[in-house]
């Protein structure tokens, strides 16, 4: 009988610090992908990243081929399609792109006539971004492709499973503001003091 893979972490998925070369492939995927998604203590984040890649790569390649827009450029259009009248910082925070990357994308979209950049009368340093008619047309034309691809991905789950997944992911998203935004580098001076009296051959 063929071995069945488990989708539950901690029940045979991850064995020790690393699974050896003799580990049985239980997912049907290539060995490296299985190692990262099934034999990895960080199973959640690697699975989320894997699914995001399977979604983003084909869709943004399609966007570039169809509209000649890069991913950051289309992210601006998509963001304004969902909530028009935003500022660049809001898009940067919600998308994870560096603000300078989005700034270049915004300037190009303004030149292409796909978005409008309107000065804020109350703050001269602040500009409100809105979709032009051409930009709105691209958003509305592209959106069904994104929705269709997501529905295809979700078809692996029942409606009940989809609802449960949505609730659980929403719970994690709402908790995310409490997570550290950055991880401090180790204090090298303190580390030097700790290892000063240890013979160099004993330092891993």
* The predicted structure's pLDDT at residue 189: 59
* The predicted structure's pLDDT at residue 58: 98
CA–CA separation, 127 vs 123, rounded Å? 8
Number of folded domains that form the chain? 1
Cβ–Cβ contacts within 10 Å for residue 113, how many?
Answer: 11
Sign, Cα dihedral of 81, 84, 89, 90: negative
* The predicted structure's pLDDT at residue 6: 53
- Is 139 inside any structural domain? yes
- Is 96 inside any structural domain? yes
- Is 117 inside any structural domain? yes
Residues 6+ apart with CB under 8 A from 149: 55, 58, 59
* The predicted structure's pLDDT at residue 27: 72
- Is 10 inside any structural domain? no
- Is 90 inside any structural domain? yes
Residues 6+ apart with CB under 8 A from 33: 27, 50
* The predicted structure's pLDDT at residue 18: 43
- Is 54 inside any structural domain? no
Q: What is the pLDDT of residues 186-197, one digit of tens each?
A: 765 555 554 445
* The predicted structure's pLDDT at residue 125: 73
Give CA angle at 197 (191, 201), nearest 5°: 90
Q: Specify the pTM.
A: 0.78
| DSSP secondary structure letters along 132-166 | -HHHHHHHHHHHHHHHHHHHHHHTTS-HHHHHHHH
For residue 185, the 8-state DSSP code is P
CATH number for the domain harbouring residue 142: 1.10.10.10
Domain limits for position 151: 70-157
* The predicted structure's pLDDT at residue 163: 98
Gyration radius of the chain's alpha carbons: 23
Q: What is the mean pLDDT of the chain?
A: 84
- Is 75 inside any structural domain? yes
Average confidence (pLDDT) per 10 residues, the chain, 204 residues: 46 44 66 91 96 97 98 97 94 90 95 92 80 98 98 98 98 95 75 48 37
CA–CA separation, 82 vs 32, rounded Å? 37
Query: DSSP strand E in the chain: where?
Result: 115-120, 123-131
- Is 42 inside any structural domain? no
* The predicted structure's pLDDT at residue 17: 40
């Amino acid at each position: 009988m063929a071995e069945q893979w488990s989708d539950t972490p901690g029940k045979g998925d991850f064995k020790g610090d690393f699974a050896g070369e003799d580990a049985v492939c239980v997912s049907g995927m290539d060995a490296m992908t299985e190692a990262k998604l099934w034999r990895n203590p960080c199973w959640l984040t690697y699975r989320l990243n894997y699914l995001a890649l399977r979604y983003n790569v084909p869709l943004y390649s399609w966007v570039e081929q169809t509209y000649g827009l890069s991913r950051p450029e289309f992210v601006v259009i998509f963001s304004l399609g969902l909530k028009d009248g935003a500022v660049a910082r809001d898009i940067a925070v919600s998308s994870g792109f560096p603000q300078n990357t989005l700034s270049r994308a915004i300037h190009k979209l303004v030149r292409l006539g796909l978005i409008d950049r309107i000065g804020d009368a109350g703050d001269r340093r602040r500009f409100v971004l809105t979709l032009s008619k051409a930009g709105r047309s691209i958003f509305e034309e592209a959106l069904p492709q994104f929705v269709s691809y997501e529905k295809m991905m979700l078809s692996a789950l029942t409606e009940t499973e989809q609802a449960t997944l949505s609730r659980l992911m929403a719970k994690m998203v709402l908790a995310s503001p409490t997570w550290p935004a950055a991880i401090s580098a180790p204090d090298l001076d303190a580390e030097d003091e700790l290892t000063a009296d240890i013979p160099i051959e004993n330092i891993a």
